[in-house]
Amino acid sequence: MKSATRQGLRVRVGGAVVSALIAVGVSFAPGATAADVQSEQWYLGPMQAEKMWKTSTGEGIKVAVIDTGVNPDTPSLKGQVLADEVPKQVAYGATDDYAGHGTTMAELIVGTGAGGRLQGLAPGAEVVPYRVPLGNELSAKEEKRAPTSAEAIRAAADSDARIISMSIGSVAYEAEDAAAVKYAASKGKILVASVGNGGQDSGYIEYPAAYPYVLGVSSIDDKSRISDFGQSGNYVDLVAPGENLPAYCNGNFEKYCHNLNGTSFSTAITSAAAALIWSAHPDWTANQVTRALIDTAGRKWPKDEPTSTAGYGTIRPRSVLADPNYDAGEPYSDPLRRENMQEGEKLVTEIPPASASAKPSAGATGPSQGAAGSSKDKQAAAGSDDAKAVAADSSGESSTLWIVLGAAAAVVVIGGGAFAVLRAKRAH
């Protein structure tokens, strides 16, 4: 029997399975060729990517991409994918992307843009690929050979990758996944995940974004408006571009589809932003890089009052890279201490890795079950004026929130089922 983790995970492409890429807003115009796509990456200009690359390209940073696999042979990814660094026990199919989704995410993070393909925000960084079964695209035999999400997270935690990017989600809480996430955090990794595409009023939350120690990312459009399809709750930490973007139509890698929406995009772009910052400051800890993302995020509300739809605001990595005097704070002080704290436990992010416990038990404490009225939800209800737009950088950098893949369709009940009430990631 397949594990609940395997049954519950799906790619964030507006439907229950990876093949549901054709969603509201998707275009299969005859001209949907690779040469068109960079002009559709509307966020690169407002983020002043060219200026950032003069300071940092992400060089020296490895990003683990846990998804549908990554094709290392697209023009944009040649030389960018470290398939040999995937441990054999979890390497099955790592470079055989059955849907095109994982390859799209990898290109958005580290793509060189060669051949007119997608341009990554951190083209100097490199990707370590992991393929997990999502939806119903793989045969039962292949699913059995593929690693579970927990196995992939643990393998990434034991690798040289400093960032773990997960554009995947499930409505089911899994103790094994929660323990794997905690283990990765104890190893000094930054974990980034999509918050879901079910809409602000869906009443659902999604994992792994909702686990402690994971940065949950939602989406914005090109006018800095929060995407309606992004889910809300106190597990939303940041927002990044996620609307009207291209992605590979399928696993043939011949064409991109246009005008796609989803938090998948937002997650990949945020992971790339973290890589840019970490490359410029290689001695910083995960806490310091996370703090930099939070401190410099674009918002119109007090920093200590994150909203339920945009968290701390829109990522603006250039604000960190352009400020040689930025103070990233204490290396082992968790900037998300309030959100990540679990009753009776010491935060693993506040223990130097050398003295951290080797491996958390599989029965790690899970999310609180009755915290629907958490502080984030009280501070900003979904749809409030402050949550509808994020302030632009006074220096000219757009604060546009990243967009999520897929339409705001109903959340499919899979795995352990859905929740009528938001389940808190954080205990305050």
| Distance set, CA 363 to CA 156, 176, 338, 360 (Å) | 20, 7, 22, 8
In a domain, 68, yes or no: yes
Q: Give the range among 20-29, 254-263, 271-280, 344-353 with minimum mean pLDDT.
A: 20-29
Would the pTM of this model clear 0.85, i.e. be above it? Answer: no
What DSSP assignment string belongs to 227-259? PTTS--STT--EEEE-SSEEEESSTT-S-EEEE
| 60-107 pLDDT per residue, tens | 999 999 999 999 999 999 999 999 999 999 999 999 999 999 999 999
Work out the burial of residue 122: count CB atoms within 10 Å of its CB; fewer than 13 is exposed, 13-18 middle, 19 or more buried.
buried
In a domain, 85, yes or no: yes
| 191-236 pLDDT per residue, tens | 999 999 999 998 888 999 999 999 999 999 999 999 999 999 999 9
**How many domains does one find in the chain?**
1
Residue-level pLDDT at 35: 56
In a domain, 198, yes or no: yes
| Rounded mean pLDDT, 325-343 | 95
Work out the burial of residue 250: count CB atoms within 10 Å of its CB; fewer than 13 is exposed, 13-18 middle, 19 or more buried.
middle
Residues in the chain: 428
Residue with tokens 């011949």: 254
Alpha-carbon dihedral 380, 383, 389, 390, rounded to 10 degrees: 30
What DSSP assignment string belongs to 11-23? ESSSSSSTTTT--
Q: Domain of 101?
A: 4-388
In a domain, 322, yes or no: yes
| Rounded mean pLDDT, 301-313 | 97
In a domain, 41, yes or no: yes
Which of helix, strand or coil describes residue 319? helix
Percent of the chain with pLDDT over 70: 74
What is the bridge-based pairing of β-strands 62-67 and 163-166? parallel
CATH at 354: 3.40.50.200
In a domain, 27, yes or no: yes
Beta carbons of 149 and 24 less than 8 angstroms apart: no
In a domain, 128, yes or no: yes
Residue 46 has pLDDT above 60, yes or no: yes
In a domain, 421, yes or no: no
